[in-house]
Structure 1
Amino acid sequence: MAAGSDASSAAGDTSNRGMTVEECENMIQRSLRSPTVKFLREHLVKSGCDISSNFIKAVNCSQRMSGGYVRGEGIMVCSNHLTIQDEVTQVVIHELIHAYDDCRAANLDWTNCAHHACSEIRAGHLSGDCHYKRELLRGFVKLRGHEQDCVRRRVMKSLASNPYCSEAAAKDAMEAVWDTCYNDTKPFDRAP
């Protein structure tokens, strides 16, 4: 089971654009120098997680998504749905949070709507996916509560791709775990 990021990027709809796998690989290498990416990778290692040199790889994706994490395989970044460095770095950060969750929770079950929702809430909240500027570029303008609305919207979008979660089950699961998971900022001291 994979946890994925939707392709609604900060730069808008990228369904007909994108980059080559090689261009994306170069951007992944640059993203590894990001302080947040370094921090998350260090905490994965400290948690005993195996992150080999090919843990994060660029691929062409047939599904409309920016990237995903697959247990035992690592992180895939969808080159054909991304166009700029910031998007690649954002996907890497989001998926590293899923990898961290998978590593630290011995019983995480991606087919369980509540488990999947929790990791999506954390990834959306902690990765910066829902920063005000990103939301503005996506066409969502709201002065108060934009971040939580964005996280909720993106959690529901991600859970829609989980064949084990109906829309009603996804919404119920997200609401049931919201407070606990939104306030869980590990490995950060507080939400970045």
Structure 2
Amino acid sequence: MVESSTVNGGSTVQECQDMIRRSLRTPIVKFLKEHLEKSGCRIGDNFIKAIHCDKKVSGGYVRGHGTCRTIKARIPRNLQIIVCSNYMNIQDEVNQVVIHELIHAYDDCRAANLDWANCAHHACSEIRAGHLSGDCHYKRELLRGYLKIRGHEQECVRRRVMKSMAGNPYCSESASKDAMEAVWDVCYNDTKPFDRAP
């Protein structure tokens, strides 16, 4: 799940779906899709979809289908990544959500026993998604109002991991923090499928 930083009215579902189509043509998204398929996870036509979300988040990864509690939306069958159109204003925001959630999908695909109810597993995927997606790039942090010059990236990843994990009903704040600290070094340094953090 990606926290929303948008304050404007967002886009329509159709406008957001058009931005998703453009996002699918970007090199990093193509790279992640290719590596998902190499890992044995086929990406269907309906894998990423724009919907209107009730909760203020930018999007989410949903394993399988059903109701996504963290987004409070009914997820269509065979859909695994949603982008909340009402919190998307520009192409860059959609690209970031798609990349972040594709990293979660990749983690789910490559790990035979990934359990999203396990705080350490969830924290690890959030650390990787925050670090590898560019969510915490310096200019994005400045736009969010965080002006720290040194150490901003790791601090941002930690903050965003905690915010995402707040939506996990199996992980209290203290359990989330302990899990994040326990797996930090291994997960932060795990850059697969990239050779290094983009």
Q: TM-score, normalised by structure 1?
A: 0.94
SS at match of 2:59: strand
**1:108-152: CA deviation from partner (whole Å, max 9, x where unpaired):** 000111000000000000000000000000000111100000000
SS at match of 1:57: strand
SS at match of 2:86: helix
Partner of 1:85: 91
The structure with higher relative contact order (CA 8 Å, sep 6+) is 1
Identity, % of aligned positions: 77
Aligned ranges for residues 12-161 of structure 1 at < 5 Å? 13-14=6-7, 17-72=9-64, 73-161=79-167
Give how far 1:58 is off. 0.3
CA distance in 2, matches of 1:38, 1:55: 14
> Could you tell me which amino acid in structure 2 is paired with residue 5 of structure 1?
V
SS at match of 1:177: helix
The answer to whether the aligner puts 1:189 opposite 2:195 as a matched pair is yes
CA distance in 1, matches of 2:2, 2:117: 16
Root mean square deviation of aligned Cα: 0.7
Specify which of 162, 173, 187 is matched with residue 167 of structure 1.
Answer: 173
Partner of 1:6: 3
Where structure 1 has 5 or more consecutive residues not aligned to the other structure, the ranges are none
Structure 1 consecutive aligned stretches of length 4 or more whose deviation exceeds 4 Å: none
Q: How many aligned residue pairs are there?
A: 184
**1:141-169: CA deviation from partner (whole Å, max 9, x where unpaired):** 11110000000000000000101010000
CA distance in 2, matches of 1:58, 1:82: 10
Q: TM-score, normalised by structure 2?
A: 0.92
CA distance in 2, matches of 1:62, 1:113: 25
Give how far 1:50 is off. 2.0
CA distance in 1, matches of 2:197, 2:83: 24
